[in-house]
Structures are given as C-alpha cells and as structure tokens.
Amino acid sequence: MTELKKERMCRVFIQLMFAVYFFALIRFTLFKYAPLDDLGRAFFLKERQISMIPFKAAIDIIKNMSPVRVVENLAGNVLLFMPFGLMFPLVTKFEGETTIYGMLLSLFIEAAQFAFGMGFTDIDDLILNTLGAFLGYKIYRIINRIFKERANMLLVMAVVLGIGCTGAVFVLYYTGYLINGFPNVTI
C-alpha cells in the first residue's frame, strides 16, 4: 500500500470518527434526557436555568454531591471536548483556531440548552469544555511532533480514535445512555 493511499484511508476513517463523536456530543449535551427514538421529547423538558458566575456551580457540586458525581461532572466536561481538540485539526484547515472553535461549539450547546429548555446552562461548562478542547489540541500537537511523517501520524491517530470511540460507544450502549438517555430523569 502506498503512503498516499494509507494517508487517504486514515483521513477518511478519522473523518468518520469525528462524525460519530459529533453525533455523540450532541446526543449527550442537547438530547440527554430523551430516548433515541423520540429526541423531540428533550425540547422544553427542563425549566430554564443559567449560571453566569464562574465556578459557582462547580463549588456547589463539590459541597453537595458525592466525589463520584463531582468527578463525573467536572472531569466529564473536560473529557467530553478533548476528542474535539484532537480531531478538529485533522478534519479542517483551522488547526490554530481549534480551541476557539471548541469554545464556540460549547457556547452554541449552552445557548441551545437555555433557549430550548434542554438542560442547565452554566458558564463552568463553557470553561471546562474549552479547557478540554485546548488539552485535546495539545495532545494532537505532541503526537504531530513525535511522528514526522504525516501518514504515520494519521495512522496512530486513527488507531487511537478507533479504540477510544469503540470503547466509549460500547460503555454508553451497555449502560443504556446511548439509547434511553440519562436514567435519572423521568419524562
């Protein structure tokens, strides 16, 4: 297989993984309270709430919730956007603006949650999501420096993303979140 063909195959695979990731991101940020077969139920399900004071909601979570819930919420918001930072430079020509686009995507999600009553709108989520996009981009830069040949870097990224996305989909499907949404909310 030629280097060019290997690079093209890896690029297509990474684009597919980005599409899967983007679908999952929208599913778990905007449609998390609705079953997959009735996503329309997510609209205007929650009362509109907004927190514009940085880290106020995070401090409330730390004070009032179990350590598992704290890690799930805070680290989850960072981890949720790390794949964006890792893949965005591979599927677009806007490598240097990855963190800005991650912030804009998070801002869109938070605004949509507020506008359509789909969840709690929180400045902390915007900050943590942007941090996740930034960290993902830094990982991309490290991998890019290690592998001088573009085809080898794309192959490594394709393998890492393939394993990561497969594992995440398996866990989310097994727990029922992928199909039924988050179970702690009755509709």
Q: Is 48 exposed, middle or buried (0-12, 13-18, 19+ CB in 10 A)?
A: middle
Average pLDDT value for residue range 64-80: 80
* pLDDT given for residue 136 in this prediction: 94
Selection from 125, 133, 32 nearest residue 74 by Cα: 125
**Binning pLDDT at 50, 70 and 90, where does residue 186 land?**
very low
Task: Report pLDDT for 101.
Answer: 98
Give the residue with greater pLDDT, 69 vs 116.
116
Nearest to 56 by CA among 119, 124, 132: 124
Q: What is the pLDDT of residue 169?
A: 67
Q: What confidence tens digit (pLDDT) does each residue in 31-62 have?
A: 887 777 777 777 776 777 787 888 887 788 78
Q: At what angle do helices 123-146 and 67-91 cross, to 10 degrees?
A: 50
Residue 172: per-residue pLDDT: 67
Alpha carbon distance 77, 111 (integer Å): 16
Q: Is the pTM of this model over 0.85?
A: no
pLDDT of residue 185 exceeding 70, the answer is no
